Amino acid sequence: MLFKYVILVTLVVNSFTDNHLNEVEPSSTAYSEQKCHKTDLNIDGEGEEASPDVDEIGVYETYTLVCGDNFNLVSGDNVAVDIDPVYTCVPGEDAAVLSPTPSANCAKQLLQNPQVFETQVNDGADNIKYAVAIDKLSCFKKNQQAELIPGVDMSTCPNDYQTFIDVGCRTDHNDHIFVGYHSLMVLDNQASSLWGEDIISDPVEKLKLYMDCIAGDQASTVCFDVDTLPSKSDSKLFVKMYSIPVAAGDSSRKEQAMNILQGEDVHYRLRCDDGYSFKAGIEENSVYGYCTQAGTGESKGNNLFFAYTKDAADEQIHCYSKCPANPESTDTFAEGSSPVFGKLFLPSLKKDDTFTLKKEAVVCADGQTLATDAQDSYEITCHGADTTAQPNSGLLSCTDCPVCHAKCPANPESADAFVESPVFRSIVMKELIKGETFHLQPDGVTCAEGQSLAEGAPDQYTITCHEDGKLSCGDHCPICHPKCPANPENADAFVAGNTTVFKSIVMKELIKGETFHLQPDAVTCEDLYSLEVAAPDQYSITCSDDGKLSCGEQCPTCYPMCPEDPNTEKFEEGSDIVFLRLTMVALKKGETHDLPKEMVSCDDDMALAADASASYTITCGEPSGGVGILECDSCPICFGQCLANPTAEKLELAEDSGVESISISENQSLRASITVNKEHIVCKDNYAMPDDAKSTFEFRCKEEGMFSCAEGENGCPQCKGTCEWPAETEGNLGYDFRYVDEAKRAVDREEHAIPGVNHVEAFCTNETHFVILGPRFLSCISNSTMEFDTTGYDNDATPTCQTDPVCESPAATGGTLDRTGNIPVGESYVFTCGEGYMFDLDTQDTLSKGATSLEIPCVEPAGNETLVNSHLPAQICYSGCRKTVGFDGEITPAEKRSGSAPYSEGDTITFTCREGYKHADPTKGEQTCEKGNIGTGAAPVCIKDTKPTEEPGAATNCLVSTILLTVTVLALLL
């Protein structure tokens, strides 16, 4: 299809598009604060008006420049503008600006003399088909006063003026119908895309593209008085009309309707009504149409138009209700979109337009705001509405919509402001928006009287605003807890389960979680109560959640004290105690007292045991029945005493002990030991302590008042039967009897002699001239009979008194004499070492090898002053060990020569092998003298200390040699 695209006027003012609005950067000044002013329109002449006529408009609101009567709209370079320009207030970085930049103005018309130029157009058959009359030509110039311009013809206006041509049917064609545009504007007087070079010289061919006069009988082919398309009154589609300047006072041609010829040969530019627009992507000046069905003057509703664009001639174009600028209600959004706002600063949008709304352009209702994590921008799409809808009522939509949330209040005074349940009286903090976080310092929290934050409360609380205007503090909320009281006076101040007993405590007021280190001296107990000895150096008192104190496992607890000077009733049941009273101080629980035994009082005839401890450890233990109970591991026990001077029934002795009683002057305590001299042993009649009896005996007091001597070192006393003194022999050679021990001799000799061995001697009654020869000593040992010691004599031998000198037997130790009686001068005593005894080496050197006896010759007394030589040398044999024979090495220490055996019992002897040799048995290097032998008595064996390079047989050969040598030496000794 070939179309004649009718573009009557080309705008020279920079047209602004909605896309330009999308490019505006977010403003540092709030959208609501940015304004555009009427003065920004540069209105500086009469006839210029702004619509709306207000001093300022807000963001995305519009000004329209309107010219008054006899004024025409021109651009800044004096080019006529065919439509009133609309300027939108667009937000800027710091201030809003009008877009596009205002440049149009209103200019007065300069009218030439009205002239009519009539011409006709032949259809090629000499029939008059078109008749167009050029009624008048107008010139105008910006800010130029109206005036006639003489001398100007119709060919053109001056160069700096704009040309308008007003047309109509010729006067001789009054029966014709004028169709098309009533006025034309010449863009310039030179060639243009539509006008050609000279519109005045050849107007018909040019003009008939835009208007014509047709015969009246063709009225059925005309769409009459087209303004709103009649048959589509809801389409909001209009033929684009122009407000053409005319002579002063004549407004008949302003915004008049048009007659449009039916058919596709002439097309007209179309527009949408105010508040409506084509959909996005279709420019306002790019839609054309033609009359497809004509009506009549009386039936305009039959007029139908087909609207299209140059780029899509077969696609029907429609008008849609625009989406309103700066919506203030969510009702402007389609179902499925859920924005929440007070106002959105965005321009009026066409259907399918998408606008990037910056978050700064979102105004929330009072008490609401966007979340802190709100996205920087939102994609807002206009869905428009069909033409049945009111203008500017198209619906918007958004996928990620701007949502204003309730603000969270500043300085909340109730936990109702929180999602959680914090506890406080007030909080000092700023107002928050959803998602915003505030770091609350503890000093910003005020608690109710008697409450406080806990000890160790966070250094700060993270408070976040939720979408419902509620604050959230998460897991760490400011919680005011009851304070714990200062100086509590009873256990009710402590949590249940804490064992506390006290009268009062001196301590400060605590907050929850705070710990006070209580010193024991700050705890006051009731009378006769005290802290235990094991009480800690301090108590850790902590304030818990409910204002109760807590002391954990170590609480200040006052216990009943154990009383002073207790009797046995104050000790724990089952204690092994016997006493009358203890003299001691009162004790604390757990306190220990070292009680001297002198502080233990016993009943009469009772006493502590003799081996009783010097002191007793008394401890105050767990109380019972509100009374402190004493404890002791080794307790004071009073026992019955062993009475003084015990008789045989109080003595634990053998039945034949012959003891009658013991002389002990004082009572003895249990387990007391007392040393009793044998003189204090009282024997039964005809019994006496033997002469050789131990001088003392140890007795011990046992239970039930019994004395025992079984533990004594000297054993028990044994009274033996006494002997009658033998009868004295008569005459000068007579002899009598006496004790050998001069201390036992008495002036009045007792009737009976005490038992003993060789403790009685015979003596010549005339000791001056006579001396005993032969058996001298007597023993009282059995059958109460006194008998001579006849060792070395005939059994019936008796002494004789004679005048020749004699020798008394010398002292003998470790051996025996062959006789104990007196022997004459010239004879000898033979002294023999006992078994296991030996002479010292110096003595052995004087004897034959291996000798164990020696002779002691009796010699005359020195100076011949007495008949008795009682000074023969004492003889001694020693117990010990001889040197080991056969050892091939060094033996240390050396043998002792005199006054001892070579080695004494218990001596340690070291055997050292020769150089290059070692002990075959390393344990034999040191041996001890025991029971007459050094070690086993055999010499240790040394072997050669073999080196790795030596033959293994060398050591064996050495060992064999050593053994042979040892055997040889032993054989020689034997």
Structure tokens at 851: 């000798």
* 8-38 pLDDT, tens digit each: 322 222 233 344 444 444 445 678 888 999 9
pLDDT, mean of residues 710-734: 85
Highest mean pLDDT among 134-138, 523-527, 573-577: 523-527
Share of the chain above pLDDT 90, in %: 35
Place 843 in a pLDDT band, splitting at 50, 70 and 90.
Answer: very high
Q: What is the pLDDT of residue 499?
A: 79
Say how far apart CA 838 and CA 844 lie, in whole Å.
9
Helix residue ranges, H only, 793-910: 841-844
The pLDDT score that the predictor gives to residue 811 is 92
Instruction: Please state, in angstroms and rounded to a whole number, the distance separating the CA atoms of residues 286 and 269.
Output: 7
What one-character-per-residue DSSP string does 771-810 give? EEEB--EEEEEETTEEEE--TTS-TT---EEESS-EEPPP
Is residue 146 pLDDT above 60, yes or no? Answer: no
Q: What is the pLDDT of residue 458?
A: 92
165 contacts 186 by C-beta, under 8 angstroms: yes
* pLDDT (0 to 100) of residue 747: 73
Helix (H) or strand (E) holding 954: helix 953-973
Inter-CA distances, 682 with 492, 641, 679, 709, Å: 77, 21, 8, 15
Closest to 522 (Cα-Cα) out of 542, 538, 498: 538
Residue 388's nearest CA partner among 325, 321, 333 is 321
Cβ–Cβ < 8 Å for 220, 303: no
Q: pLDDT value at position 445?
A: 95
When pLDDT is cut at 50, 70 and 90, the band that residue 714 belongs to is confident
13 vs 255, more confident = 255
The span from the CA of 123 to the CA of 204, in Å, is 11
**pLDDT of res. 202:** 52
pLDDT in tens, 150-186: 444 444 555 555 555 566 665 556 677 777 766 655 5
Confidence bin at 255 (pLDDT 50/70/90): low
Please tell me the predicted confidence (pLDDT) of residue 229: 62
Share of the chain above pLDDT 70, in %: 77
Taken in order 741, 744, 746, 749, the sign of the CA dihedral is: negative
- In this structure, of 247-256, 522-531, 620-629, 897-906, the range with the lowest mean pLDDT score is 247-256
Q: Which residue, 532, 507, 525, is CA-closest to 517?
A: 507
What is the mean pLDDT of the segment spanning 729-738? 89
The CB density around residue 468, as the number of other CB atoms within 10 Å, is 10
Residue 190 has pLDDT above 70, yes or no: no
**Percentages of the chain per state (helix, strand, coil), in multiples of 5:** 10, 35, 55
- Is the bond into 52 cis (omega within 30 degrees of 0)? yes
What tokens appear for 844 in the block? 């052995």
Higher pLDDT pick, 970 / 842? 842
Residue range 856-870: mean pLDDT, rounded: 85
Token couple for 375: 């996205």
| 646-663 tens-digit pLDDT | 998 888 888 888 899 999
Structure confidence at residue 730 (pLDDT): 87
Per DSSP, 169 falls in state E
Structure confidence at residue 477 (pLDDT): 93
Across 131-140, 159-168, 477-486, 823-832, least confident range: 131-140
On the question of pLDDT at 196 being above 50, the answer is no
- Inter-CA distances, 924 with 424, 921, 937, Å: 92, 6, 11
DSSP state of 585: -
pLDDT in tens, 269-294: 788 888 888 888 888 778 888 888 78
pLDDT band for position 140 (50/70/90)?
very low
Q: What is the mean pLDDT of residues 606-610?
A: 82
What is the model's pLDDT at position 470? 92
Res 217: pLDDT: 79
Instruction: Using DSSP, state whether 653 is helix, strand or coil.
Output: coil
What distance in Å separates the CA atoms of residue 254 and residue 515, rounded to the nearest whole number? 94
Cα–Cα dist 318/386, whole Å: 9
Q: What number is the average pLDDT over the span 319-335?
A: 92
Mean pLDDT of 831-841: 92
Q: Which long-range contacts (CB under 8 A, 24 or more apart) does 457-462 make?
A: 457/513, 462/437, 462/438
What is residue 124's predicted lDDT score, i.e. its pLDDT?
41
Q: What is the mean pLDDT of the chain?
A: 79
Phi, psi of 588 (to 5 degrees): -80, 160
Whether residue 667 is predicted with pLDDT greater than 50 in this model: the reply is yes
Whether 188 has a pLDDT exceeding 60, the answer reads no
- Beta bridge mates, 642: 668
Q: How far apart are CA 855 and CA 875, in angstroms?
A: 10
Q: Which has the closest alpha carbon to 154: 93, 211, 201, 204?
A: 201
| pLDDT grade for 75, boundaries at 50, 70 and 90 | low
Averaged pLDDT for residues 539-544:
90
**Residues 687-710 pLDDT 10s:** 888 888 888 999 888 888 888 886
DSSP state of 444: G
Average pLDDT over residues 954-959: 45
Q: Is the pLDDT of residue 223 over 50?
A: yes
User: Which range among 180-184, 496-500, 727-731 shows the weakest confidence by mean pLDDT?
Assistant: 180-184
pLDDT of residue 700: 86
Place of tokens 């040892």: 966
Cβ–Cβ < 8 Å for 341, 371 = no
